[in-house]
Structure 1
Amino acid sequence: MKAVNYSELRQNLKANLDQVTDNEELLVVHRPKGKSVVMMSLAEFNAIQETMHLNRSITNRKRLESAIENINAKQGLVKRQIVE
């Protein structure tokens, strides 16, 4: 994570934005009176939003944790047959 002040951000705007988007790096921009902000790429933001959405439901979170445990145990995923 890189940190810059507001003046440095403005002076090197393209380079700073390129670093955020190309390297998926967070950029902390320090502003006066402690009102700092964090810049991140849209891809990173979307990934965080998706993770939060998937973990919002306890049932879904448990299902995901179980799937991860199965993968780590090399058991793979079990296909369920739909009975009509």
Structure 2
Amino acid sequence: MDTLSYSAFRANLASTLDKVNDDHKPVLITRQGGKPAVLISLEGFQAYEETAYLMASPKNASRLNEAIAEVEAGKTQTRDRIKK
């Protein structure tokens, strides 16, 4: 994650916003004497919210984690499309 001081962020506001949206990577904004903040694209934020929603249910989270583990282990199947 890139890090910018508040002053650098303020001086490069438009280009930083473009970079966050184009690269889909958040930027950490630091401040002297203040708590840091993270700048994230709307698309990234919506993906985060969706993931949090899906993982909120322990049963659903378990199923998703099992499916991810199967894909990572190569335990997938390929099927032909059914033609109408």
Q: TM-score, normalised by structure 1?
A: 0.77
Which stretches of structure 1, 4 residues or more, deviate above 6 A after TM superposition?
none
1:34-71: CA deviations, max 9, x gaps?
41111010111111111111111111112223333454
Change in 2 beyond 3 A, CA 1:74/1:14: same
Pick the structure with more strand per residue: 2
Q: Alpha-carbon deviation of 1:75?
A: 3.7
Question: Structure 2: which 5+ residue stretches go unaligned?
Answer: 79-84
How large is the Cα RMSD of the aligned pairs?
2.0
Identity of aligned residues (%): 37
Counterpart position of 2:82? none
Counterpart position of 2:18? 18
Return the letter of the residue paired with 1:54.
L
Give secondary structure in 1 for the equivalent of 2:4: strand
Question: Structure 1: which 5+ residue stretches go unaligned?
Answer: 77-84
Number of residue pairs the alignment of both structures matches: 77
